[in-house]
């Protein structure tokens, strides 16, 4: 028997969306390896790390959803409210590190890598702990939103044609995660129907991003 508040349609939509996003993140991560092997550009290496952390964040959510699905198949109730507080800080840490890597890949020449690793991990762990204690998605936005805005603004500046492809990718991935800040909020903040539309919009952005990477790498 499913839990009283279980919504098969909502759960199926979330599971499908998460699986698609995990696949796309891993696709971009491995596809951009060719670009890094050719150029050995440190910025591309850091850019790939952002996708790796994004992918791990969504993979964690996917495992959490599979555990819930397995529990339902075995007619064993594992309330999401028991598992979510354990999974939530992990996804917060991974996604925050992804945003940090995305932003850092644009300014890596100006900031020491050692300093970046120390500062970003301290902040990401701190936010993850705060998210665990408060169970509030607003904690994520307080840190990630300014970083995303910085990356979006930075990606629109500069006139060097050789960097136009990378700037377009930065803009798309920033736009994707900006939409996802609303997708990841609990349903009592954003209605299910609106979340589905946001998921479709973010998936469309990411599919276009993957297409641009595929086209760029040939």
**Each residue's pLDDT tens digit in the chain (218 positions)?**
344 445 566 677 778 888 888 888 888 888 888 778 878 888 888 989 998 998 898 898 888 878 777 666 665 555 555 666 778 889 889 989 998 998 898 889 899 999 999 999 999 999 889 888 887 767 777 778 888 888 878 777 754 544 556 667 777 777 777 777 666 655 445 676 777 787 788 788 778 878 877 777 66
Asked, for residue 125, whether it belongs to a domain, the answer is yes
Instruction: 72-77: list long-range contacts, CB under 8 Å, 24+ apart.
Output: 72/2, 72/6, 75/1, 77/1, 77/3
- What is the model's pLDDT at position 156? 75
- Residue 6 is encoded by which pair of tokens? 């279980």
Residue 72 falls inside a structural domain = yes
Read off the DSSP letter of residue 5.
Answer: T
Q: Is 191 among the domain residues?
A: yes
* DSSP reduced 3-state for 169: helix
Cα R_g (the chain), whole angstroms: 18
Residue 36 falls within a domain, yes or no?
yes
Tally of domains in the chain: 1
In a domain? residue 184:
yes
CATH number at residue 157: 1.20.1070
In a domain, 1, yes or no: no
Q: Is 74 within 8 Å of 121 (Cβ atoms)?
A: no
Is there a contact between 190 and 175 (Cβ–Cβ < 8 Å)?
Answer: no
Domain, as residue range, for 107: 8-217
For residue 3, being part of any structural domain is answered with no
pTM over 0.85: no
């Amino acid at each position: 028997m499913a839990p009283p508040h279980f919504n098969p349609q909502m759960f199926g939509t979330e599971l499908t969306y998460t699986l698609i996003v995990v696949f796309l993140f891993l696709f971009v991560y491995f596809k951009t390896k060719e670009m890094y092997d050719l150029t050995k550009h440190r910025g591309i290496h850091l850019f790939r790390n952002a996708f790796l952390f994004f992918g791990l964040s969504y993979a964690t959510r996917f495992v959490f959803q599979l555990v819930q699905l397995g529990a339902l198949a075995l007619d064993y109730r594992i309330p999401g409210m028991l598992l979510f507080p354990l999974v939530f800080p992990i996804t917060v840490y991974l996604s925050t590190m992804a945003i940090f890597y995305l932003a850092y890949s644009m300014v890596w020449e100006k900031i020491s890598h050692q300093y970046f690793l120390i500062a970003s991990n301290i902040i990401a762990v701190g936010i993850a702990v705060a998210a665990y204690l408060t169970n509030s998605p607003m904690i994520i936005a307080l840190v990630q939103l300014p970083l995303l805005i910085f990356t979006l603004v930075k990606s629109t500046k500069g006139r060097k044609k050789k960097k136009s492809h990378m700037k377009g990718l930065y803009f798309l991935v920033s736009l994707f995660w900006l939409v996802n800040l609303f997708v990841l909020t609990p349903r009592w903040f954003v209605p299910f129907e609106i979340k589905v539309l946001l998921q479709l919009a973010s998936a469309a952005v990411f599919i276009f991003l993957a297409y641009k990477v595929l086209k760029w790498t040939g």
